[in-house]
Chain A
Amino acid sequence: MTIAETKISGRQFMYSIICFIQASAILNAFISNITYQESWLVVIFAFIIFIPSVFMYGALINRFKDKNLIQIIIQIFGPVLGRIISVIYLIFFLSITMFNITDLTDITKTSMLPTTPYIILVMMCILITAWAVRSGLRVLTIYSKMYVFLASFIIILSIIFLFNVIEIGNLFPIFSLPLKKYVQGIHILNAIPFGELVVFLLIAPNVQMNKKQTYKYFFLGASIGAFSFFLTVLRDISVLGETFGMFVFPSLVAFRLIRITEAITRIEILFIVILIILLIFKISILYYVTVITVSQIFNLKKYKNIVLSVGFFLMTAAIVLSANSIQHTLAAQNGAPFIWVTLQIIFPFILLLISLIFNIKSPKEESK
């Protein structure tokens, strides 16, 4: 077993999920220029559509209590075919990690360090996350609660400070776009912030929770996360109005408008800093999952030895594949979701189906 020795509590698992979605909230540009001022509606619909997937994940976790996704695949499809499918997952995890690293560096460059070379930011990010990943899952998730409180705090604080520029009218009209746009928006949201929760299938065996708690914590985590995503989108639309679809980081622009008396202005950096912490948390979870996947595919004894190697690969890939913000957004809108959703939702569903039909379970003795 290459899974980390330590077990984390169910609550920490929940906070990690919340934090994971909250970290994506800053990057709401991938739907902002598709559904514009109706994005908030799309968030609600997307989450409602996502709820069955949450329970599907929960069922999968409960059926395979001591196995993570890769181990499940290998158990069901056998060592050869299973490994081939796992490699596809590995590529998927690598690419979302990379995308998030690119997002992090993009936002850092836009908001605070415009001329600092890409490589430095990526390297610092990789090193700090590598350290976290090496320290194990317990260290990785220990601050998730704190991060959730911080993120909720800044969402609430920014809404309070932006109260005088919020225009409720900006949220209207509703249902004015063609149906195709809603479908596209819902699809993207299901792929990017919500569908990424599939990575928690690799962490779940290290969480101490019973069957009921699995559903409870997974659902609570996803819904609180989705709610804060919703609040973020709502705030950005009501503040920015028609310009919401214009910017790469709408939240950053919304924060720019915060003005506490005449002296304390231009404080968006303080808010962005907290979002950067959240993003680093998200990247470290993705990084951990990638490392676990690699060590599982190659049947390594200890995952810690390959942390830095994977990190350097990620770094190189992130630098080579880094694109400008328009290309990045296009990729997030047009290319990625179609492949991703297959891996995020459809394939786990097939796994669950197969395990139900052939009654495959793990551990086997637990058959009541």
Chain B
Amino acid sequence: MFSFIRRKLKYLRNRPKGPKDEFTYSFLSNNLRDNIHNIQSIFGNSADIVIRNFTFGKDSSYEGALVFVDGLVDNIFISRSILSPLSDWKDTLESKDNLIEFIEKQILQNPEVKRLSTYDDAISDCLNGNTILFVNDCDTCLSISTKGFEKRAVTEPQSEAVVRGPREGYTENIRTNTSLIRRKIKSPSLRIENYVIGEKSKTNVALIYLEDVVNPDVLKKLRSRLKRIKVDAIFESGVLEEYIEDSSFSPFATIAYSEKPDVTAANILEGRIAIVVDGTPFVITVPMLFIESFQSAEDYYGRNLYTYLIRIVRYVAYLIAVFGPAFYISLVNYHQGLIPTTLLVTIINAREGTSFPIIIEIIIMLFAFEIMREAGIRLPRPMGQAISIVGALIMGEAAVNAGLVGAPVVIVVAITAVASFLIPNQSETIPVLRIFVLILATFAGLFGLVIGLLAILIHLASLTSFGVPYFSGFTRYNQDSIIRTQLKSMTKRPEGIAKNNIVRRGSNMKNYSIKENEAEDRVGVQI
């Protein structure tokens, strides 16, 4: 049954999408009028396509036309850098053959000019915000970079706020984003590869990696997977993620995302590959390890000892978030002996007034929490806060007073919910696992919980992210997993991710206070 559904899905994904565009790879003609006509017919008189005909040269002997998309280009820039130099040129050439070359090399003052010879390239450049210059009697055209559309400035990221650390976040513009990364890693071995994905959307996608660190196997896999994508549109890196990840049925995300260039840069330095998608401020990195979810940028900017503590807190919080309700239900329904007698009496007292089985209570509360969370996220911020207050204070209190749920359940669900906020990267995994374990625990108590735990562990162990075992890092490499060691002794890149350049740096940085004290001692002896 499953295979049938999957085959059906596969078919739906890969079926042919309408007739192929006819202008593909057809070459430009010599005649300006034909070219313009063809362009017009391809665009079908779209309102935002501007075609500006003009003449130039001595006695206006040459004809030309500019084609651009209104809104994607900087109009003033066009007139200043293309039109005015052309109209200022009052000369003539002996041969018309090298006119276009002459214009490209001597007249235009733009930094980025390309010569194109097919409609396909011309159209796609035009749609990317370039201006296309056609000249009569030439079978090539010029694509001139005149991008100038509205874009958001670099601001502090919304989803990853930090107390200490850089506050810049990605924007929707791919160039800005790549430049943000380039500014962090000024190494010549930083490579940026461009891909265009999406039959209709023609989204620009850039791979960024360090040539000498990256694992070539991963890179090969990633390239082939990107090339295999045939879809209409990619609007967000999350869409791309689903197309290229190893197992999209798994509840675990095997591709990491970030909104902060410093996080991406650190990941690239460890040998990962960043994928920047035009139009979204979320940059994804592959391959991802499970432990990455528990690392945060501030772990490296803050005091080392404190990060020991905060890492452990995160792991405990993760366990609570996944197993909290299941553990509670197995205690209360199966192993009442484990609860201290006085606490048990209190819990029974709370349960006496309610009528639903405890599992129903927990499901009601978990459901209510998900509703409130969703409402809080989607609504504008002031209203979201109001919802939280109504939800947390009024509903929690009222539900207990009305005898709908017992107070302990409210506490359990609340702590579970708060705990899951500590690991934002796993926030889409936790609820799924929580329900899975909850069902098992409801039916078989702690035994069920253990079976659930083992199931999760087995699944985690068999997961891979671009061929790299997802759950590695705990077993093989311990410099930055359960605890973050001192930066001075963090000398190796994660194994499996960086294959050929494991050593981050030499371990010549000892503890300075000791070194200097030794020096002082020596001085003391000499004197």
Contact = CB atoms under 8 A, between A and B. Distances in A.
Interface of A: 108, 112-113, 116, 120-121, 124-125, 128, 131-132, 135-136, 138-139, 142-143, 145, 263-267, 269-270, 273, 276-277, 280
12 contacts: A108-B447, A113-B444, A113-B447, A121-B444, A125-B451, A128-B454, A128-B458, A131-B458, A136-B462, A145-B475, A267-B338, A273-B446
Interface in B428-477: 444-451, 453-455, 457-458, 461-462, 471, 475
Given A138-B461, A270-B338, A277-B450, 13 more contacts: A112-B334, A112-B335, A112-B445, A113-B447, A121-B447, A124-B447, A128-B451, A132-B454, A135-B462, A139-B461, A143-B461, A280-B450, A280-B454
Contacts of A138: 461
A113 B475 contact: no
B315 to A, nearest CB: 13
Contacts of A142: 461, 471, 475
B338 A266 contact: yes
A293 B283 CA distance: 48
B506 interface: no
A116 B449 CA distance: 15
Contact of A124 (B337, B451, B453): B451
A242 to B, nearest CB: 26
A174 B338 CA distance: 38
Question: Nearest 5 CB-CB pairs, A to B?
Answer: A263-B340, A266-B337, A139-B461, A135-B462, A142-B461
Contacts of A264: 340
Contacts of A263: 340, 342-343
Contacts of B340: 263-265
Contacts of A116: 444
Given A112-B334, A269-B335, A269-B338, A139 B444 contact: no
Nearest to B339: A266
Nearest to A267: B338
Given A112-B445, A116-B444, A145-B475, A273 B450 contact: yes
B462 A112 contact: no
A148 B506 CA distance: 33
Contacts of A265: 340
The majority secondary structure among interface residues of chain B is helix
Contacts of B461: 135, 138-139, 142-143
Contacts of A120: 444
Interface in B127-183: none
A120 B445 CA distance: 13
A277 B454 contact: yes
Nearest to A108: B447
B154 to A, nearest CB: 42
A132 B458 contact: yes
B458 A113 contact: no
A45 B332 CA distance: 45
A136 B464 CA distance: 14
Nearest to B472: A142
Contacts of A136: 462
A270 B331 CA distance: 11
A266 B339 CA distance: 8
B257 to A, nearest CB: 27
Contacts of A125: 451
A62 B449 CA distance: 41
A271 to B, nearest CB: 11
A273 B453 CA distance: 11
A264 B343 CA distance: 11
Given A124-B444, A142-B471, A276 B458 contact: no
A313 to B, nearest CB: 21
A75 to B, nearest CB: 32
A125 B454 CA distance: 10
Nearest to B457: A143
Contacts of B337: 266, 269
A128 B455 contact: yes
A139 B457 CA distance: 9
Nearest to A265: B340
Contacts of B471: 142
Contacts of A143: 457, 461
A143 B342 CA distance: 38
Contacts of B447: 108, 112-113, 121, 124, 273, 276
Contacts of B334: 112-113
Contacts of A108: 447
A124 B452 CA distance: 10
Interface string B335-378: 10110101100000000000000000000000000000000000
